[in-house]
Structure formats: C-alpha cells, structure tokens
Structure 1
C-alpha cells in the first residue's frame, strides 16, 4: 500500500535530526579553524533553528458531525488502540484544538476560557500568559486518562442571548446561523476559546502540529483562527459527509474560509475527504453499485468545489480506526484510509521537503561562500609573503632593514585608513536605520491604529474593504521604500568595497541585497485571507466594534511575523557586509605581524628565510586541505532529504 503518512513523517524527522547533527559538526569545525565570523555564525544559527523547529501543520476543518475527530484518531492515534479525541455521538470538538509538542512544557492540556474574547488581547498574546489557561496534566502512558482529559474540548456553557452576542455567537441579523435557544432562554456556547495539547507523540515530537477546528459558527466567531492559523497551515483537510456531499453550510466554510477568489483551488495543500463511506455499504446493492454511487458523489463534490478528482478522497475513518486497532488489513483497505495517508505524505510532506531543501541548499551555499572568502584572504596573504620573501634571497642586511621599514610604513598607513572605513560604516548605518524604521514595530503599530480608527467609524461598514485596501497599499509602499533604500545601500557598498579593494588590496564583495519583494507577496496572501473574510456575510459582524478590533489584532499578529522575517533578512545582510570588512581588517593586521616576524627571524639567523618559506608552503597546503574539507562538509548537508532519510532508515534498523 506504499509508505503511510506516519512512516514518511518518521523518515522526514530522521533526516532533520541527522542534518542538525551535521550542522553542529560543521559549526565546531569552522570555529576550530577560525572561519566562524559573525555572518557565518548567524547563517548556521538560522539553519539549525529552522531545521530543529520546523513545523508541519495540518488543519482539519469541517462542519459539525462530519467525523473530523474520528479521522484524526484513525490517522494519528490508532497506536493507542482506542479513541483519544472525543468522537462518539453527541461529543465533538467545540473549540479550536492544537496538538503539538514542546519539550520545555510537561505533558498537559491547556484550556483558554471563552470569556477572554471579551478582552482586547489577541490569541497570540494569550499564549504568552500561561497562568490564564486552565491546565490539566496528562499521563501519555495511560490512553484512558488521555481520552478522558481530551473530552474537555467538547465542554459547553449556557449563557444569556446578550452574553452570546458579546462572545460572538449570536447575531440578530442572521438568525439562521444562531445556535438553538433552549426552553429556559439560554444559548449553548463553547466553554473554551482555544485548547493546546502538548504530548510526546512520535509524530508531534518530530514537528507535526494538528489543528482540529470546530464547525462554521465557531470558525466565523474567531477571526484569528480564520485569518491566521488556517491560512498558515501547510495542508487543510476538509471533511464532508459521503452520504450528503457538499451541503450549504459546507460550501459556506469552503468559500468564506478556505479558498479565495485569487487562490488556486487545485493546490495540493487542499484535500477533501468524503467521510463515512461505510454508511453507503448496502447489503442489498452489489459492490460495483456501491462503488459507482461513491464515485458519483466524489465527482460531484470535486466539480462543486473546483478541485481535481484526485483531491477528493472517499474514506471511512471509523472503519479505518477499527481496522488499525484490530490489525484487519482487509477492512483497512476497504476503508480507503491508506489512500488519504499517501495523499498527505506525497502532497504535504513532499512540498515541505522541497521548500526546506531549497532553503537549506541556498543557506549552505551562502555560508560556504562566506567561509571560502576567509580562506582565499589567507591564501592571497601567503602568496604575497612568499613573493616578498623569495625576493630577499641573496640580499644584504641593509636591503632587509629597508624591507622592514617599508612594511612598518604600510602598517602605519593602514592604521590611518581606519577613520575612512569608520566613516563609510556611519553612512551605511544611517541608511540602514531608515530601513529598520520602515519595517519596525512602531510603523506597524501606527498602521494598525489607523485601520482601527477607520473601522470604528459609526454605521454599517460598507467601506471596510476600502479601509483594508488603503492599509495594505501603505504597507506595500513602505516595503517598496525599504527596498529602494536597501538598493541605495547596496550601490554604496559596492562602490566603497571596490575602492577599498583598489587602495588596500582587499577582496571585499557586497553581499546579495535582501529580496523584500517576496515579503510583498506575503502581504498579498495576508490581504487575500482578510478580504475573503470581509464579504457581505460578515458585514453585520464588522459593524460591531469589538469584532472589528479582534480582526485588526489578528491581522497585526500575522503582519508582525512577516515584518520580523523581513527585518531578520536585512540584519543578516548587514552582518555579512560588516563581517567581511572585520575579517579582512583582522587578517591584514595579522599579515603585517607575520611579515615583521619573518623579517626579524631572517635578521637573526641565516636559515630564517628558508625556514619561513617552508612554513608558508606548508600553510598553503593546509589551506588546500581546509578548502577540500569545507566542500566535503557542506556537500553532505545538501543531499536530498527524502533519499537521505530513506537511506538512513535501514541503517538505523541494522544498528
């Protein structure tokens, strides 16, 4: 049946751990050979952080009673030989639930009370305040205790209509979306706003994050879920009922929260599951007739949702779970669960590995260039010394004294040049501060304050899209100014480095200018996810100031991540330029010291010249070895992840 999602994710984790280990060895080797300047160290740190903390988020989205939690049980938790997520009749996930692993936190379930919606802080800020969450400790070796604890995510509260309005679950202008009103006049709402489950499940330990979302009413009431978490998921699994196909509420979730007009519906990151195909297994129909019925439902769903047929996968999560628990291969095949697992592994992990591999190859390539530059500086200095020393063969003492005086004069002139280099850095940093301001927190806060002010204008928010459009236009203009300023800095660096190379024999090369255009593309993605949320369906909600404020705070959280990434790239660019200059200044000072030392030794002993020439020859050979070793260590790090992981699996089993 091929490699399951669990198996392939395991291989993915092995490759990442092996890469992190090799990266550490490279770091130690570079440090031992004094090749670890600030820029190289920063590149190494980022690559290691990216590799160790890389997460793959899979979001499961569905209307109520589509078997979403059962599907999560079948794919990820069948090893417990029972249900872990609440999936029995009448028990369903009522609040967004994230399952992941953080080694610094004990196994626990953390629950954020629904009342926090009445306060202005976005969800991201609540994560930083653990004391505000209700914590339930978990015993990962006791499946019954886990399942009992997880039932808390299905807890509800009964509140008045006014309280339901304040919490975002009741809207007088759209009664069809409101929850049922009980005979006592109270409304049922989720007890918790968000749940975080931290357990050392093998897949979660390797970076998988599972996002289990509630139905349409709860999704729409939590802007941060819609505009931040779901759009950032690497894959979205949308679950339908095989017997009902695409219902009106299913289509509303799909159009309003999962696919925007400008997005490719056929993206491999979107999978649709036709769940509960076992309800169509009919003893009065032949197997061929049942399959034909499933195929028709699959084709109809794909057409309505604008997907390729292979992106709609019919399964029975319940039968798949039973089959795994009972080791029933025939039932597992009939459930078609392995087909979904293959689609997840090929689509989600395949795409993630390609992105990570490209990032690794680029990062290691740039790191190697930085380290090679340091080796080449040393090689050039040795070549200059060799020419100088060979020119002294057969010369008398006065010539050697003259040579010493000339070196000391060069050293004095070089020391004076420090003021000129300092002036260049001052201009560079002044321009750089402009970029930092444009991409800084204060600029972003000012834009969010301006948007909030616009949205608080009294009356129905018919102009809300325009307010958002103007905000994103200003943000894009700011990015363009930052790119223009960075272009000025790049031109200045190129010209200055060329001048310093001519005057002092340096080999400086301006590092690659940061590409801020890709952050403009990120802005477009964020804008797209918000625009689809600003349709007529949410116009009435947006008329409520507290809801509009929550939406802006969610936007600010997402934009902060984009701007922090852009700033980090600018900072690395700056470090690369400064590190080059520092390295060449340092090597040049060392070179003067070595040249003066060689002259001293030649003056003191007749054999000093030949000894020094022999030493330089040996040092040149050592540099060649350094060069070869650097090539070897870096090439190991750019091997294909999938092939490397597959190759390591049998080795691990043999060991």
Structure 2
C-alpha cells in the first residue's frame, strides 16, 4: 500500500521546500480572495479590477513548474527521477532496469478532474500533421490505462507501458522519423526479418496524485536523440518553456558524440530561455573502488566536472555530479551515509532553491504590479467619494435656516448638473465606440487567422522541396511579418492611450472627474518571445536539416509545433491588450456609476427636505458617519494592500536567500 504521508521519509530537502512554496501560494490565494470580497462589499472593485484579481489568483494557484530531464539512452535519467521524487514509495516507479527504459516523451502531472491513469498516444499519429496540443483535445485517440494510485506496484506496472516498442518496415520507420538514410550510423539495428524496432507510443501523460505533482510540479521525461529529433514539438515548445532542464550525462562515458549533438541541436539554443539549465554528471559510483581514496575520487569527479563544463561551454557550477542509483538505494534503505555519498542533496538544493526563487521572482513582479494598480484605482474612487460627501455635507449645511427659494435654487442647480452629466455620458459613449473600433482592429490582426495564413504560406513552400541555403529567407520573412503585426497592435494601443488621456483631461476639467491618464501598454515582451522562437528554430530550416524536411510529415509537424507556440504568444498579447483596455476605462466606468448614484441621492435628499420628510440635522449626521466610513476604508485599503505586498516580499526574500546559499555548488 502506498500512502501519501510516506513522503516524509524523503529527507525533506526537495519535497519540503516545494511543499512550503505550494502552501505559501495557497495561503496567498486565500488572502487575494478575501481582498477581492472586501473590495466588492464596499463597491470598490470595478469589473476590470475584479477580473485582474481573479487572474492573479489563478496565476498564483495554478503556477505550474516543469522540470525536464533530457539524456541519451542509458545515462540513468529515469533512475534520477526515481531518486528525486519517488523513493518514498519503496521501489522504482519510472522504468530504469537494464534494457527497459522510457521510449517516448512522458509527462508526469496531476489533474484532479481526471482519475489516475497513463494515457498513451500511438506512434502512428506522427504521420498526421496535427500537433500534440491538437491531439490532447482528442481523448479518444489515446489509450488510457487506469492505475490504482494507492499501490506502488500497480503504478509501476502501468508506467512500464512507456517502454513498449513495435516493429515496422524501413519505409515506415523513415516516415515516422526513426530512419535516416543520410546518417546511417544513428539508425537502429534491423531485426532478422529486416524490420526496425521503434517506440510504440508517441507521447505519454501520467496523471498521478503525487504530493509534489499536486502542488504544481510537472516532470517531463524525454527519450534519446532519435526520439527528440523526430518530435518537433519537444524542441520547439516543451523544452524551451520548461522552467528547469536537467541534461544528464554518464560519468562512465563522458560527453559522447550523441550527447554533444543533443546539447548543440536541442538545448544550447535555449540556454538563454527563462529557467534553470543544469548538467548532471550521473553514475559517479562507477569511480568508487577500494584502490582509490575518497580524496582521489573527489579529485577525479572535480576534473570530470571541469572537463564537461569546458566541453559544453557552461560555468562549472552548472555541472553537478551524483549517483542516482546509490541515492535511490540510500533513501529507500535509510542509509544516510550512502545518500550523502551520492551527492543527491546538493542537486536537490540547487534545483529547488534556484528554481523556486526564479519562479517567485516572475510571480512577484506580476502580483505587485497588479495589486498596485488595483489599489490605486480603489483609492481614487474613495477620494472621489470623500469629495462628493463633503460637497453634499456643505450643500445640506448651507440649507439650514434658508427658505424654500434657496431649496428651489439647489434643485435647479441639480437639474443643470444632471443635464451636463447626460452630455458627459454621450461623450463617453462616443469615446467608447472609437476605442472598441481600434481594439477590434488589433484583435483581428492578433487572431488565429493571421498565424494560420502566414504559416500556410510557409508550409506551401516546404511541400515537395529540398531545402537550400537560401530557404531560411522565407522563414525569417514570415516572422518579420508577424513582428509587424505586434508592432501594429502596439501602435493601436498607443492611439487608444493618447485618445483616453486627452479625453480624461477634458472630462476632469468639464465635469469634475478624478481620472488618471491610463498606463502605456508594452508589448515588447511578446515581441521578444517571437524573436526567440524565430532564432531558436532557425536551424530547422537550414540545409543540414534538408533530409528531415524532405519528409512531408515532419515538415507538417514542425509547422504545427511552431504554430502552437505562435498562437500562445498572440493569444497572450491579445489577452494583455484586452485587460489593459478594460483597466484603462474601469476608473471611468466606476466614477460614472458613482456620479449617477450621487445625483440620485442628492435629488432624493432635496425632495425629502422640500416635503419636510427629512430633518437637516439628521441628514448631516448621516453624511458625517459616511465620511468616517470612507476614511476608515482608505486606511483599511492601504493596510490590506501593504499586507499583501509584504507577503509577496517576505516569500521572495526567503527564497532568494536560500538560492544564494546554493549559488556555487562547485
């Protein structure tokens, strides 16, 4: 029987820190919810502000952290996953025995909406152009193997399915991307029947309620060079977007030709991507023997780390040496000395502290920016309420001892102000129409049809053609046109911002609003993302990749994978623009609502006073009470905002301090 509480046996270095980060996110989400409820109860939250808070809650709660493990076969990659995450279950979960290894890219994650299972996508789907993202939406195309999450044996048995292979003809292997006539040295051996053994599955998703997976960890286990190179979505999308990539080498083999090829073709291009990139020199136990002292062994490992760092062109503190097998055995048998000798704790510390510190830095900036904008909007509204209540109090106080003529004069003034307000509303409606027209123009350009049109043209040029040295030109032109789309959207946002700023000055002057000029929308991050995608995949369209690209299926899969990345960028840009637009006009909407309510209250008050139905002193006391309430709300808003910001700061400082403590594992 496998109990979730048994995770306590792990030794805590990785699990406890990750769990603490997950707990912080859960607590912070609850605090955000309480803040949103408080704003709503006091009428301080515009629809845009509440939507922004909901997105911040979702971002904090659903923040996924993907750790990808990349290696050639027989480097101990699956054993390392077992040692890091699954030792508490008393046995191997990922297949790591001789001759039985992961044959297809495998994701370990947890989705509470689905039962525990292993989902397997048949390798034959590679012959179709749909991307993995498209196949994820077609559940019936996957083989689903249910698992009993309470039984380690049942989980391991189900996961064993990722090792399955099938035999196909050379032609079929060529179409699937496992046979290369131009580089026969990397081709798998033929069976006696002249067939080629290939993975049975294209992709696997293991939905498993491991405590760390529940907290948002996603583990990506990738197979060797052939499988990586044949699946564009891995190198175009999954690996570049992973928050941490561990490239595993063998201490017994060093950096082999295929290791170097994986590094240069699939990882080096993304070394500047957001995330942690570590080299793990595994199997250091092969250097242990009775004839060498511990000092000599340590010196051998030091030399190997420096040699690997020099060969791959990375800082030596990015190369860590471990023994995954000894770490797993030591953890299961509770042999503390063996665990220490395996050096797994150092890797755990560097991984969790650097990774979580980095993730929190990104979350930190987003949370603080969003909170500051929401708080500023609410404070402006409270300031407007304070001003209106003060004016009402002065207006009512001025009626004391006055005759009916004075009251009629106030009613006439209210009527004039109401007429002016109606003119203001008409002006705002015209402003909104002009804004929506510009927005729709931007959304049209940022929509999926633009990407589909551009990549369809690129795909058409790939069909039936061998690549030439000049073929990168249309590829780069495609991205240049897409950059122009983002720049055009940036220009439209600038037009909207200038139009709103000018209109707000006019509304403040003519009608007494307290509108602040909207912030400028900055889409430069999305332009940078687009540039990274273009540069990191440029080599796919070079003459060196001509043979692969001559396969229509591979070219289609490559274009589909790039399209998926581009859709994500453009959708994010459109969402950011929509939220910015809503936030830019939210203050106007809520101040219009307040002004309208103010007219109703003032009119009713004057009417009741006119009919002797309301005592002036009573009304003045009511207004004084409301003024006190508003001032208290101002203080409460400031305290709540500062408390939320402090929570974010405190978590960030703790994570950064831990990361700095492990910044140089050399």
Interval of TM-score (by shorter of Structure 1 and Structure 2):
over 0.9
- Equivalent residue for 1:637? 644
Q: Which moved more, 1:147-156 or 1:409-418?
A: 409-418
C-alpha RMSD over aligned residues: 2.0
Q: Residues 617-632 of structure 1 correspond to what in structure 2 (within 5 A)?
A: 617-632=624-639
Deviations 1:556-601 (A, max 9, x none): 0011111111111111112123322221111111111111122223
- What is the CA-CA distance between 1:455 and the residue it aligns to? 2.0
- Give the CA deviation at 1:608: 2.1
1:231 aligns with 2:240: yes
Q: CA deviation at 1:379?
A: 1.4
8 Å CA contact 1:601, 1:609 repeated in 2: no
Tell me the SS of whatever aligns to 1:639: helix
SS at match of 2:513: coil
The answer as to 2:191 corresponding to 1:172 is no
Aligned to 1:495: 502
Whether 2:64 is the aligned partner of 1:55: answer yes
- d(CA) in 2 for partners of 1:536, 1:2: 50
Describe the SS at the equivalent of 2:646: coil
Distance 1:458 1:156, change over 3 A: same
Matched, 1:408 2:415: yes
Measured in 2, the distance between the counterparts of 1:496 and 1:606 equals 41
Contact conserved, 1:455 with 1:461, CA < 8 A, in 2? no
Taking the TM superposition and a 5 Å limit, the aligned residue runs for 1:377-416 are 377-416=384-423
Q: Report how far residue 409 of structure 1 moved.
A: 2.4
1:282 to 280, 289, 297: 289
In structure 1, distance between residues paired with 2:521 and 2:114: 36
CA contact (8 A) 2:420 2:511 kept: no
Q: CA deviation at 1:5?
A: 1.9
Aligned with residue 350 of structure 2, among 317, 320, 343: 343
2:553 corresponds in structure 1 to 546
Residue 458 of structure 1 corresponds to 465
- 1:349-364 to structure 2, matched below 5 A, reads 349-364=356-371
Counterpart pick for 1:89 among 80, 85, 98: 98
Number of equivalenced pairs: 646
CA contact (8 A) 1:12 1:641 kept: no
Q: In the alignment, what sits opposite 2:163?
A: 154
Instruction: Compute the displacement of 1:624 (Å).
Output: 1.3
Q: Pick the aligned partner of 2:208 from 196, 199, 211.
A: 199
- Pick one of 536, 558, 578 that aligns with 1:571: 578
Q: 1:74 to 1:174 in 2, by over 3 A?
A: same
Comparing 184-193 and 581-590, the one that deviates more: 581-590
SS at match of 1:184: coil
Q: Are 1:156 and 1:190, in contact at CA under 8 Å, matched by a contact in 2?
A: yes
Q: From the superposition, tell whether residues 436 and 264 of structure 1 become closer, same or farther in structure 2 (CA, over 3 Å).
A: closer
Deviating more after overlay: 479-488 vs 610-619: 610-619
1:76-475 equivalent positions in 2, closer than 5 A: 76-260=85-269, 263-264=271-272, 269-456=276-463, 458-475=465-482
Residue 19 of structure 1 and its aligned partner are, at CA, apart by: 0.8
8 A Cα contact 1:455 1:464, kept in partner? no
The answer to whether the 8 A contact 2:468-2:542 is kept is: no
Alignment partner of 1:585 out of 585, 592, 599 = 592
TM-score in terms of structure 1 length: 0.95
Q: 1:68 — aligned with what?
A: 77
Question: Is this contact kept in 2: 1:59–1:213, CA < 8 A?
Answer: yes
Inter-partner Cα distance in structure 2 for 1:255 and 1:56:
24
Q: The residue matched to 1:431 in structure 2 has which SS? A: helix
Give the secondary structure class of the aligned counterpart of 1:180: coil
Q: Of 514, 523, 538, which residue of structure 2 is paired with 1:531?
A: 538
Give the aligned partner of residue 652 of structure 1: none
- 2:544, 2:283 → 1: CA distance? 30
Greater displacement, 561-570 / 29-38: 29-38
Partners of 1:63 and 1:516 in 2: CA distance: 38
Distance 1:31 1:520, change over 3 A: same
1:653 match = none
Aligned-residue offset at 1:642: 8.2
Q: 1:198 to 1:574 in 2, by over 3 A?
A: same
Q: Pick closer, same or farther for the CA change 1:325–1:290 going to 2, 3 Å.
A: same
Secondary structure, aligned partner of 2:92? coil
**Do the aligned residues in 2 keep the contact of 1:276 with 1:315 (CA within 8 Å)?**
yes
What's the secondary structure of 1:274's corresponding residue? strand
Given candidates 589, 601, 604, the residue that maps to 2:608 is: 601
1:476 alignment partner, one of 473, 483, 486 = 483
Quote the Cα distance in structure 1 between the aligned partners of 2:314 and 2:651.
Answer: 33
Q: How much has 1:647 moved relative to structure 2?
A: 9.6
- 2:380 and 2:275 map into 1 onto residues whose CA distance is 41
Equivalent-residue separation in structure 1 for 2:652 and 2:359 (angstroms): 14
TM-superposed deviation, 1:377: 2.1
Does the 8 A contact of 1:66 with 1:239 survive in 2?
yes
TM-score w.r.t. the length of structure 2 is 0.94
Does the 8 Å contact 1:111/1:192 carry over to 2? Answer: yes
Structure 2 residue runs of 5 or longer lacking an equivalent are: 1-9, 656-666
CA contact (8 A) 1:11 1:642 kept: no
Question: Which one of the candidate residues 517, 521, 527 is aligned to 2:524?
Answer: 517
Give the Cα separation in 1 of the matches to 2:166 and 2:455.
33
Say whether the 8 Å CA contact 1:63–1:214 is kept in structure 2: yes
Partners in 2 of 1:64 and 1:453 — Cα distance?
36
Q: Identify the residue that residue 610 of structure 1 maps to in structure 2.
A: 617
Q: Which aligned runs of 4 or more in structure 1 are off by greater than 6 angstroms?
A: 645-648
In the alignment, structure 1 segments of 5+ residues that lack a partner are 649-655
- 1:395 is paired with a residue whose SS is coil
CA distance in 1, matches of 2:424, 2:131: 52
